[in-house]
A = this chain, B = another copy of it.
């Protein structure tokens, strides 16, 4: 399929939340990980990146607008890496071959949600460029490997549902690609809650954090080589069998181990704070009181909690969270059963959480209609805010 000059292509891509964590690169330049990882892509209703790409002979330079503000695309190594990978795949006889691009990208995340946008951002950047240039994959995961050059975890946003990023063994990284373990429709009972924590601290960036971990943590290497390979198999089996008990326990253990490796780093990296600890303790007691695992927490490179649960438990967990972590303007009204209140305890953590985003596993990148375009026919960004 060839594209006309002046075509504007607009796509969206999801955020993903890892349950088996990626932490540490074995190759900084190619962004190759020290271990495989696994995530779910989130429903794009709440959280997504939308990107428009326009290719035209009218354009003198490549240009890029992020959230309606122009960025210097030339000086961004990561954007350049992705763009170069796309361009070297465009056939020499394509009329688009030597043309410049205008790209506009918007993250529709709630302000200050503390959620990383690099994964959905680079996935959407690569996916939209590939569509605009009319490229198709030469092998499964090829697009994912291109977005990996922007941000490691971006490769997992190239698919919907449950997605594995294979560690790979080749030096050129060609086998370190993402693939789908199961689509979101495989486990429709799954729900995902993001608890946004009130926190003023600036976290250590994950790029520099994982670099220090690789250099200094004795435990990271052991985790990568001896814990993760077995855990990945257990995760995939649990997903395919829709075995929430196993999935939940693995999720919590892997989040804990990731933060353990951060703490074993020198100097140590702390992403979880006292609120994160309180969330862990409330959910641990809640699960114990329930006689089974109803909620599985996971924490990324910051204090926010993400809870994986089943839809049948979502309301009770919302009751639980609103009861123990009340905040202003909370919309949810509910009452927590007395037996749970008794088991979890009487400590209330007021205003420690700022908001809750209710999501679920969702599909991968989508091609959108022209009504959602972020670039007009003159190649200028369209303001939608």
Among B223, B259, B266, B274, contact of A263 (Cβ-Cβ < 8 Å):
B259
A267 contacts B249, CB within 8 Å? no
Question: Do most interface residues of chain A lie in helix, strand or loop, or is the interface mixed?
Answer: helix
Q: With an 8 A cutoff between CB atoms, is A68 at the interface? A: no
Closest Cβ of chain B: how far from A114's Cβ, in Å?
17
Among B227, B264, B274, contact of A256 (Cβ-Cβ < 8 Å):
B264
Question: Could you list 15 further interchain pairs (A-B, Cβ under 8 angstroms) beyond the known A260-B264, A263-B263?
Answer: A218-B223, A218-B226, A219-B219, A219-B222, A219-B260, A222-B222, A252-B266, A253-B264, A253-B266, A256-B263, A257-B264, A260-B261, A267-B280, A270-B280, A273-B277
Roughly how many angstroms separate A241 CA and B266 CA in the complex, as a whole number? 23
Which residues of A (231-287) have their CB < 8 Å from a CB of B? 249, 252-253, 256-257, 259-261, 263-268, 270, 273-274, 277, 280, 284
Roughly how many angstroms separate A273 CA and B226 CA in the complex, as a whole number? 30
Interface size on A, residues (CB 8 A): 27
Which residue on B lies nearest to A276, using beta carbons? Answer: B270
With a CB–CB cut-off of 8 A, which chain B residues contact A273? 274, 277
The list of the 9 closest CB pairs from A to B, nearest first, reads A260-B264, A260-B260, A260-B263, A222-B222, A267-B284, A274-B274, A256-B268, A270-B277, A219-B219
With a CB–CB cut-off of 8 A, which chain B residues contact A226? 218, 222
Which residues of A (269-317) have their CB < 8 Å from a CB of B? 270, 273-274, 277, 280, 284
Roughly how many angstroms separate A172 CA and B246 CA in the complex, as a whole number? 38
Please list the residues of chain A having a beta carbon within 8 angstroms of any beta carbon in chain B: 216, 218-219, 222-223, 226-227, 249, 252-253, 256-257, 259-261, 263-268, 270, 273-274, 277, 280, 284
A249 contacts B274, CB within 8 Å? no
Roughly how many angstroms separate A229 CA and B245 CA in the complex, as a whole number? 37
With a CB–CB cut-off of 8 A, which chain B residues contact A257? 218-219, 263-264
With a CB–CB cut-off of 8 A, which chain B residues contact A268? 256, 280
Roughly how many angstroms separate A264 CA and B21 CA in the complex, as a whole number? 14
* Max chain B C-beta neighbours (<10 A), residue from A261, A277, A280: A277
Roughly how many angstroms separate A374 CA and B67 CA in the complex, as a whole number? 74
With a CB–CB cut-off of 8 A, which chain B residues contact A227? 218
Roughly how many angstroms separate A82 CA and B58 CA in the complex, as a whole number? 89
Which residue on B lies nearest to A277, using beta carbons? Answer: B270
Roughly how many angstroms separate A264 CA and B253 CA in the complex, as a whole number? 7
Closest Cβ of chain B: how far from A305's Cβ, in Å?
13
Roughly how many angstroms separate A253 CA and B268 CA in the complex, as a whole number? 8
Which residue on B lies nearest to A285, using beta carbons? Answer: B267
Closest Cβ of chain B: how far from A263's Cβ, in Å?
4
